Structure 1
Amino acid sequence: MNRSLRNYFAAAMIFGVTGAQAGIPYPTAATPKAIDRGLMKSLASSSEISVTVALRPRDPNGAEELLSALTTPDDPQFHKFLTPQQFAAKFGPSAADVAKVIATLKGYGLRVEQATPFTLRATGTPAKIESAFHVSLHQFDVPAQGGAAAYSYHAPATPPTAPDAVAGLISGIVGLDTKPHFRPHVQKAPAELSAVEGQQQQSGNPSLINPLGSLTVADFAQYYDVKPLYAAGVAGNGRTLGIITLANFTPSDAFHYWTRVGLAVASNRMTLVNIDGGPGAPSDVSGSDETTLDVEQSGGLAPGARMIVYLAPNTNQAFFDAFAKAVNDNTADTVSVSWGAWEGFDQSTGFTNSLHSLLVQAAVQGQSFFAAAGDDGAYDVDRAIGVQAGGVTVDYPASDPAITAAGGTTLAGKQAFTVNGRPLVINVAKERVWGWDYLDPVCKKRKLDPIDCGIFSVGGGGGVSIVFGIPDYQTVTKRKGAVPIPGIKTSAKGETVQGARLPAGFQGRNVPDISANADPNTGYSMDYTSNIHGFRTTTFNGGTSFVAPQFNGVTALLCQKANSRLGLINNPLYSLVRANAGKKAGGPIRSIATGDNWFYKGAQGYSPAAGAGVLDVTKLATEPGF
């Protein structure tokens, strides 16, 4: 039996997916237009659907203040994290309020159960759901396209509202829209933009072990100074990594990768948790490569850690439920997610506010969460949906201030191309912000503009949120006082951002927080079983989806060394940025001062292109808060 078949049957035994339907395709510019089939209640009146009802926490401002205190090294409450039970007792809705919401929803004929202290699951026919939340649900069909199968989803024609009697107790109604919104942030370098005609790119970078495009976790560990921790016996032992993902995968791929790069890991280190029925069988179009690399990278950097992979379908409800499961189980010390969407995708249901409350709870419990900042430069939504004339936008959940956003860089070295039969070498002199505008010489040789060439707007996600205000930790202290980190300041007329208008002088949460190599041209190898091509080791993989799980693994190491969870690392991280402002190089954070992500430029200190910069992990491990 060949390896690809062995992997397939291994996955089938673990997940019980023999003959199961493949996962729902994630959205791309090629996704066909959905066909509206009309009112759902008239098409499937006897079927039942469910929604997750998020309950409003008590004293959310108090929870935010406690989060800050728990992650501020000189605060008396530093690292005195709460359990989920303690958090619920302090900030959860009262038993009377929960009972009132349940009784009210049952009055509409719904079955209601409490899933967590902060969430309910309400189930009923489409007609009953419509009545309870004052919506009309339509069913939509998306035709098959290329290798992507047809699928259906439902969505409301108008925003929902909670029943008047309990509207003040409910923060969100998640699940009325089952359209797949989220995209994986993994990128593959096209042949014409990487090793054309089989030429191997040469790194010219003595800090690396393997050539550019074929890097492994060992290269990350050497380049970003993780190896001294390994030498000291720090490998993530006694710690647990969490991965939240929206596609299934073949677990043996990860074990093959770890063996290939010389790591000894426990055969029983991984636990798989299906959320809301799970995401279906592995497939390329559903994003199984994303899940695979998340597991390989995080588990490879912390080979002694245990792992929990939360596998959810690509729906708003399942994504939310996966976070709720990870937070309320409170088993994972550190968690990463490499899926996202433009932050304005769903502002009518309370989704982002409700998920923010979960992330605050996680931080108060000491859990660290990381999110990929996206691969569309400063124009998060544009390239993914085939639009080229939108505004500057950022990705969610990376834009949430209670998560650490992972941005991207390009490593230094020479990149060799063959264009029209002639060699072309681009020399990247130093690590820079990842933005593929540096490949413009390749495009010019091909007589293509950046759009037709495929380089616009590829790069590390970064910019300013239009949903979340600038958090207190994102300030740079100067002698004249604290001033906000530079963000978008619009004109008096405002600035249109994909249908959302920023007020003049708006200061939002800046993305990313920290960065690392994410450019596919200076990227990584991965082991992956494709449902089309079978098992193979691929090269020139990248995207900020590598960076989020890498920081996930690194944080497990830091937790072991500190003998403590770290919680949200943004407070101590930005304290270091302020403390190191104006100092010479050599500290735990190195600014990325060159390059751009098609709008924002790298800079000394913070920039909404590479965040605070890149880390020296071993030096970081000696700093307060880490």
Structure 2
Amino acid sequence: MRTEHLCRGVATALALAGIPFMAAAQSPAQNAAQNAALAGIDTAEAPRVTQAVNNQVVAPLQASHLAALDTLRPVAGVSGNAPMNHMHLMLRRSALRQKALDSLIAAQHDPHSSRFHRWVTPDQFGRAFGVSDADIAAVTAWLRSNGLVVNGVYPNRMQIDFSGDAAQVERAFHTQLDRFVLDGATHLANATDVSVPTALQNVIVGVAGLNDFRPQPQHVPMKVGTFDSATHRFRIQSPAGKVAAAAQPLAIGFTNGARGLVPYDMAKMYGVDKLRDRGLTGKGITIAVVEDGSMVPGDWTNFVKQFNLGSYGGTFRQFQPQAPGFTNCVDPTVAYPGEDDGETLLDAEWSTAVAPGATIWVASCDDSNSANFFGGVFTAATNLINGAKRPNVISASYGYGEGFTDAASKAAIDLMWAQADAEGISVFVSSGDSGSNPSFNGGLINSVGVDANSFGTSPNDTVVGGTDTADVLDGTTKKYFSADLNTEYGSALSYVPEIPWNESCGNEVAATSLGFPSALAFCKEYLKLDPNGYYLTSEGGSGGPSSVDRKPAWQRLVHGAARDQSRDVPDVALFGGSYGGATWVIVCTADYPCQPGFPGSIALSGGTSLSSPMFAGIQALIDQGLAKKGLAPNQGNAAPTLYALAMAEYGGASGAAPASLAACSSDNGTRGTGKCVFHDITRGSIATQCVQQLPDIATPDCYYYGSLPGSLYGPLQVGLTSTNAARYNAKTEAYAARPGWSFAAGLGSVDAKNLFDAWSAFVGVP
């Protein structure tokens, strides 16, 4: 249970007003250590709300509505009594406090600084870097004067949770709520920018939750397979009620079925087994996977038992994290009793697969309108970060493009991850599952060609992209996988060369394997053999530049870094999926439980929703190892350290590349790469198919190579994502893998053992 007390600094301003504002109690030793992080940092300032608040004198907040809706006509209005629950009024800190926070986080990641790894609590974060108590009191009084219910103020002093109905929201914020149809789904959103009293303009960013565009899970829909004990492969079952499609044209022939990877395989491929030999299993470290759905807890137990992970002592807990002092997280099983969400299953089981000794928290909040308008994933994460007991690591396998994110919602996301970083929490976010635009998972890129996952483009989290094992397309499977399964159902023999995950004809490695001179020639042949567009797809690992967040200093220095001013993603990559459905990972579900020998149907899954929790597991191993060496386990954002280590292996952004850049190429497999921290992925791309239907849908950043007059979707122009719509080549395709960092795979994948050794040296441990 949590012990809470009212913060002295806000007792007068807020407690007397009846607004919940709670912070966790700390021991004297904890306070002493955390106060050291803020020693000498002076952020005292006078209140910034200095004028009387007048509802008739207002100013608009720029970019506070979705520009993507400007070309759409609303299909309906919104009833005035429609509930708008648990929206977040996002506050704006002063330039002084923003500069101080940026300096603190930089110092927390600098081994030469006295503030190195000195983390803060939510209350300390709020007192030093939030909005003043007087300004918060002025804002909450204004909300109440408009009939809105103030549920509480977060300890970070940057978020006010409030509720009301649509009429109250429209009146208070001088905007119109409407319903729009986008990609076949109906959404509620404010049609115009909001306005607030001019007196409050300098302390308010906007409202997160005025629309219902929420981060979406980044996994491939589960497949069901039956195990063939003779071939050790899975035969994928056709979906019920659908006619099985003919064999995919030009695909590699998987005559023996699909491969199902297990925890043993990932441990062998990424050097995790070597850390287990040292006793590093994640014991004592808590990984939280944040979700908007729940799972049957027995699935996790089944997974652990099936793959012999029980001896490592990991534990599992599923719960609804609440904001300190008030309730805003509803159990998803209230609306969906017995829910066994595929995203949640993948996250919980595969973080355990890598760190079987860790404590796994499934933090789930329903995102229906009756529970929390901004969405359950955000609610779960921000409540954990502001809570009394916080995890060491968070994995968030959700996302959507910045083009579908308003300014206030983006500010809320970036604030959340910055606070987590300052508190020492390592956050990993999936890059997305639809090539150069993460918003089209399971569909086709249209209307927006290049975008980046707004849930991950903060400079305070680490974004994990997706790879594919190259052995199938290269014809080298016998070299890297045994024909027989061991007692843990594994078959991997070592690290396996990787390419970017790309299921479309834009996959250059697949094109070459099938004898085509280029992916473009491959795609043109597809047009002839697939006149209905059945195999059109944008599925693949995502990457791209942010249009909101600036490039952090640590991302500028490594070889291959894009010469732009944007925060670019991904940072790293791990296995996510495969071309032609050749390889999946096994998950244990309530409908398809795992049993010895796999006698029944088995669920198979993938996506960057797999990549992120696996990297969170690797971080848990690092955290435990450093704790055993006498350091505090928390490492904060992993990215600054990862890029520093990559510079040593790949070289800097300028100058000659060291020999280790070529030596650590993923294509080398195990040949001469024994000491490499990173596997540099240099073949393939994440350029996937994109479409447009003129005049209604025009898609930029797409090179059109043909058309399908009679496709399943109607007349389509079909292309490949490109940064130049007039040409398609190695320089313009969005995006190609290259030596060093790339949009296709970031810094590449890692050898966990070598990463731990290099990380230990970086933080000063022999």
Normalised to the residue count of structure 1, the TM-score between the two structures is 0.78
3-state secondary structure, aligned to 1:63:
helix
Q: In 2, distance between residues paired with 1:530 and 1:170?
A: 47
CA separation of 1:282/1:602 partners in 2, compared to 1, >3 Å: closer, same or farther? Answer: farther
How far 1:364 moved relative to its partner?
Answer: 0.8
How far 1:439 moved relative to its partner?
Answer: 4.3
Question: 164, 172, 194: which is aligned to 1:132?
Answer: 172
How many corresponding residue pairs?
A: 540
Q: In 2, distance between residues paired with 1:386 and 1:326?
A: 34
- Compare 357-366 and 573-582 and name the one that shifted more: 573-582
* Alpha-carbon contact 1:51-1:317 (below 8 Å) kept: no
Indicate the residue corresponding to 1:240 in structure 2.
286
CA separation of 1:131/1:389 partners in 2, compared to 1, >3 Å: closer, same or farther? Answer: closer
* Alpha-carbon contact 1:187-1:375 (below 8 Å) kept: no
How far 1:567 moved relative to its partner?
Answer: 0.5
Indicate the residue corresponding to 2:106 in structure 1.
68
Matches within 5 A, 1:176-575: 176-180=210-214, 182-186=216-220, 192=247, 199-201=255-257, 213-264=259-310, 269-273=316-320, 276-280=329-333, 288-314=341-367, 316-329=374-387, 330-348=389-407, 350-382=408-440, 384=442, 386-388=444-446, 390-414=448-472, 430-436=497-503, 437=507, 438-439=509-510, 441=514, 447-448=528-529, 452-454=533-535, 456-476=537-557, 485-486=561-562, 507-520=565-578, 521-529=582-590, 538=602, 540-563=604-627, 564-575=633-644
Q: In 2, distance between residues paired with 1:474 and 1:325?
A: 29
* Alpha-carbon contact 2:678-2:747 (below 8 Å) kept: yes
- Compare 581-590 and 289-298 and name the one that shifted more: 581-590
* Alpha-carbon contact 1:409-1:432 (below 8 Å) kept: yes
CA separation of 1:193/1:623 partners in 2, compared to 1, >3 Å: closer, same or farther? Answer: farther
Amino acid at match of 1:565: N
CA separation of 1:141/1:587 partners in 2, compared to 1, >3 Å: closer, same or farther? Answer: closer
1:616 aligns with 2:751: yes
How far 1:434 moved relative to its partner?
Answer: 1.6
- Compare 164-173 and 400-409 and name the one that shifted more: 164-173
* Alpha-carbon contact 2:219-2:605 (below 8 Å) kept: no
Indicate the residue corresponding to 1:164 in structure 2.
198
CA separation of 1:109/1:433 partners in 2, compared to 1, >3 Å: closer, same or farther? Answer: same
Runs of 4+ in 1 over 6 A off after TM superposition: 140-143, 194-198, 281-284
* Alpha-carbon contact 1:401-1:509 (below 8 Å) kept: yes
Q: In 2, distance between residues paired with 1:604 and 1:540?
A: 32
Question: 146, 164, 174: which is aligned to 1:108?
Answer: 146
3-state secondary structure, aligned to 2:538:
coil
- Compare 545-554 and 160-169 and name the one that shifted more: 160-169
3-state secondary structure, aligned to 1:344:
helix
How far 1:163 moved relative to its partner?
Answer: 3.2
* Alpha-carbon contact 1:52-1:317 (below 8 Å) kept: no
Amino acid at match of 1:160: V
Q: In 1, distance between residues paired with 2:529 and 2:334?
A: 39
What is the identity percentage for the equivalent residue pairs of Structure 1 and Structure 2?
27
Amino acid at match of 2:171: S
Indicate the residue corresponding to 1:603 in structure 2.
738
* Alpha-carbon contact 2:588-2:603 (below 8 Å) kept: no
Q: In 2, distance between residues paired with 1:258 and 1:343?
A: 37
How far 1:96 moved relative to its partner?
Answer: 1.0
Question: 69, 74, 77: which is aligned to 1:38?
Answer: 77
Indicate the residue corresponding to 2:648 in structure 1.
579
Amino acid at match of 1:538: I
Q: In 1, distance between residues paired with 2:198 and 2:361?
A: 39
CA separation of 1:65/1:95 partners in 2, compared to 1, >3 Å: closer, same or farther? Answer: same
Q: In 2, distance between residues paired with 1:413 and 1:283?
A: 41
How far 1:138 moved relative to its partner?
Answer: 3.0
* Alpha-carbon contact 1:517-1:523 (below 8 Å) kept: no
CA separation of 1:198/1:461 partners in 2, compared to 1, >3 Å: closer, same or farther? Answer: closer
* Alpha-carbon contact 2:364-2:377 (below 8 Å) kept: no
Deviations 1:134-160 (A, max 9, x none): 1222357999x9xxxxx9863222232
Q: In 1, distance between residues paired with 2:686 and 2:345?
A: 26
CA separation of 1:393/1:48 partners in 2, compared to 1, >3 Å: closer, same or farther? Answer: closer
* Alpha-carbon contact 2:433-2:441 (below 8 Å) kept: no
Amino acid at match of 1:38: G
How far 1:188 moved relative to its partner?
Answer: 5.2
Deviations 1:371-396 (A, max 9, x none): 11011112333565544464222222
* Alpha-carbon contact 1:70-1:78 (below 8 Å) kept: yes
Unaligned runs of 5+ in 1: 1-32, 146-150, 202-211, 418-427, 479-483, 488-505
* Alpha-carbon contact 2:217-2:398 (below 8 Å) kept: yes
Normalised to the residue count of structure 2, the TM-score between the two structures is 0.64
3-state secondary structure, aligned to 2:260:
coil
Larger of the two Rg values belongs to structure: 2
Indicate the residue corresponding to 2:159 in structure 1.
119
RMSD (Å) for aligned C-alpha atoms: 3.6
3-state secondary structure, aligned to 1:528:
coil
